[in-house]
Amino acid sequence: MTIFIKAPAKINLTLDVLNKRNDGYHEVEMIMTTIDLSDRIGLSEINENEIRIISQNRFVPDDQRNLAYQAAKVLKEKFNVKQGVSITIDKAIPVAAGLAGGSSDAAATLRGLNKLWNLGLSLDQLAEIGAEIGSDVSFCVYGGTAMAKGRGEKITYLPAPPNCWVILAKPSIGVSTADVYRNLDLSKVYHPDSNAMIAALQNGSYSSVCSCIGNVLESVTLSMHPEVQHIKEQMERFGADAVLMSGSGPTVFGLVQYDSRLQRIYNGLRGFCDQVYAVRMLGERVSD
């Protein structure tokens, strides 16, 4: 038997870092929403009692470094599952892009194996298990729109943003999340107003969502990588309503309300950037 599950990417509407904790993790406050750009995960029962990863994407590890592998391993060990599984990962989300691709694959694997292995776990239980794998996995178990606090594992649900287009552009550079955090000086950066974003979402106000987006890591990554700054400026110049870097980068996204303008921005970006996507927000959470 094989089952297929979608693993959608997320963008950060806000990303704030409050402090560095004694355990070395950063205390964060992030408002995230899932978008219609998804990997496709196939889970097949196999005779051998092992976990196999199959992916055509050369940037995706095919061993225990893969977050989907780790998700299967945690479930297998916790619930003493004696069955093996082959996990096929059809990548559509760019890798190491600030879009939580690996975390979403792990979350989809948890949801899918819960069904394949008849474990009967709730989404809350899967999200708790997900937190052991990575800080964005809990959010990705539910999807939709939420505030994530702590290391990212404390999730509070929020209304979906008003419908609009999301245009994404990823420069072909790698950004080291560790380097970005190392260069982050919390006293010198702009902190987004999470409460104002929550109010904007509750009021369903597109213009307020646009004016409240913010990412504490953006200025750090922009100063390290001028290519990201260039994409941001061009997206603004071509007419996006609001532009922000997602996660620690390097992907930059723009919010756009009108189809006519979307086409112009897309064509403009494609002139100098290979990886450009125009998608809708998903906004709603996964159901149990």
Would residue 170 show up in a list of annotated catalytic residues for this protein? no
Binding status of residue 169 toward ligand ATP by CB under 6 A? no
Measure the CA–CA gap between 214 and 253, rounded to whole angstroms. 12
Which residue among 44, 83, 177, 219 contacts ligand ATP (CB under 6 A)? 177
Binding status of residue 100 toward ligand ATP by CB under 6 A? yes
Sheet holding 275-280, edge to edge: 242-245, 252-256, 165-170, 275-280
242 is in an annotated binding site: no
Place of tokens 């750090």: 220
Which residue among 40, 42, 61, 268 contacts ligand ATP (CB under 6 A)? 61
Which residue among 5, 13, 31, 68 contacts ligand ATP (CB under 6 A)? 68
By CB under 6 A, the count of residues binding ligand ATP is 20
Peptide bond preceding 250 in cis form (omega within 30 of 0): yes
Which residue among 18, 95, 160, 224 contacts ligand ATP (CB under 6 A)? 95
Distant-in-sequence contacts of 21-29, Cβ < 8 A, 24+ apart: 25/135, 25/151, 26/151, 26/181, 27/149, 27/150, 27/151, 28/135, 28/148, 28/149, 28/150, 28/151, 28/152, 29/147, 29/148, 29/149, 29/194
Which residue among 4, 45, 49, 65 contacts ligand ATP (CB under 6 A)? 65
Catalytic residue among 105, 136, 232, 241: 136
Measure the CA–CA gap between 35 and 143, rounded to whole angstroms. 9
Angle between helices 226-238 and 259-270 (to 10 degrees): 150
- Our CB check for ligand ATP shows the closer of 1 and 178 to be 178
Residue 80's region, left for phi above 0, alpha for psi from -120 to 50, else beta, is left
Binding to ligand ATP (CB under 6 A) within 204-243 occurs at none
Would residue 136 show up in a list of annotated catalytic residues for this protein? yes
Binding to ligand ATP (CB under 6 A) within 101-140 occurs at 101-103, 105, 136
- Our CB check for ligand ATP shows the closer of 51 and 60 to be 60
The span of 78-86, 99-107, 118-126, 237-245 binding ligand ATP (CB under 6 A) equals: 99-107
Binding site for ligand ATP (CB under 6 A): 60-61, 65-68, 89, 95-103, 105, 136, 177, 247
